[in-house]
Amino acid sequence: MTASGSPVRQGVWAAPGRVNIIGEHTDYNDGYALPIALPQAVTCAAAAGADGQVRVTSRQHPGELVDEPIAGLATSSTEGWARYPLGVVHEYARRGHRIPGVVLDLDGAVPVGAGLSSSAAVECSVAIALRDLFALPVTDAELIDIGRAAENSYVGAATGTLDQSASVLCTAGHALFLDFGKGEHAQVPFDLTATGLELLVVDTNTPHQLVDGGYGKRRTECEQAAAALGVRSLREVTEAAEVERIADPVLRRRARHIVTENARVLAVVAALRGGGDPRAIGPTLTDGHGSLRDDFEISTPQLDTAVETALAAGAHGARMVGGGFGGSIIALTDADSTEQIAAAIEKGFRAAGFAEPRTFVAVPSAGARRVS
């Protein structure tokens, strides 16, 4: 999906959100993850300009127009939703790619703050639009890194490359096995329909903000844990017992999550590749939630309630997804039980006085692409 040799004047591009089957906070630890792309996507209608300006609008923010000189983006004081697309334009320019001017109109169907990578979908839709508009010699790997750099350096969220990788590289009907340590990926068949299963996503309606300190603090703690073990990254630790050498109990818990989460990803990938009943991965998903709740300490009462209720109502496995401190869960359900499980979660939320959750079934979908 590299750029063609011929620029285009305008078009519409789309990039999806993602949900992880398993593998949270492993990307910046050189570990493994297994996301799928969602059918919900961000679209970017883009047109080439020639006046040195970038103009950005969003259907979700009617009446707002951000109009800035590309040459001045490095010192832009714009905050909020527009900083994500501006960051992508700036990153292209910073890397020496000529953007003579561009008009961007965004429309997002990925729930914001739900842990489903709405920000990466914005970044990737803009990045692929710019690549095609100006026939820029940018590979998929570079496109992913441009999105990551925009989020890290321009927006200020210390994320890894999981979200952008999923948004760009996923294919319909498959999960994407990502090996961040080696920079490799592979498609893994993930057809739940054939076995009478569905993947229920429950947005708990408790938005999170990755720019806030919790995510960055976890990343720093992982780096400190690796240093305590004398390794470059926690990817190098393959036995959970090794983390017991860490004296600090908080760092020990953080390391234990990463080491065991990597093992869970590999176990799920092996099970799916082996062609067995996908129901067998359910307990592994549930174990992942316990690890995120107890060792990484990024769950919330809403996320825990959704997981516990889904399991009590018959889900084969359930876990929180995303960066944590809010967002969504997934539940592996029998197709004929999905509505019942979703209703049980809604009832449980009402009883607890929580905001009403939003639910939908996730189907493995295609990655970033031009749509018109």
Which residues have a catalytic role annotated? 163
Both tokens of 351, joined, read 């009883």
Q: Which residues pair with 55 in a beta bridge?
A: 67, 103
From residue 317, give the alpha-carbon distance in Å to each of 290, 307, 333: 11, 8, 8
Measured from the Cβ of residue 47, the count of other Cβ atoms closer than 10 Å reads 16
Lay out the sheet containing 358-362: strands in order across: 317-321, 328-334, 197-203, 358-362
- Helix and strand counts by DSSP (H, E) for the chain: 9, 12
Measured from the Cβ of residue 103, the count of other Cβ atoms closer than 10 Å reads 16
Measured from the Cβ of residue 351, the count of other Cβ atoms closer than 10 Å reads 10
Query: Which residue's structure tokens are 């999905």?
Result: 338
Helix orientation angle between 83-94 and 140-149, rounded to the nearest 10 degrees = 120
Cβ 194 vs Cβ 333: under 8 Å: no
Measured from the Cβ of residue 207, the count of other Cβ atoms closer than 10 Å reads 14
Cβ 312 vs Cβ 344: under 8 Å: yes
State the chain's maximal CA–CA distance in angstroms: 60
According to DSSP, residue 333 is labeled: E
Question: Phi/psi class of residue 75: alpha, beta or left (left: φ > 0; alpha: ψ in -120 to 50)?
Answer: alpha
Burial class (CB within 10 angstroms; exposed 0-12, middle 13-18, buried 19+) of 237? buried
Cβ 31 vs Cβ 1: under 8 Å: no
Burial class (CB within 10 angstroms; exposed 0-12, middle 13-18, buried 19+) of 9? exposed
According to DSSP, residue 182 is labeled: T
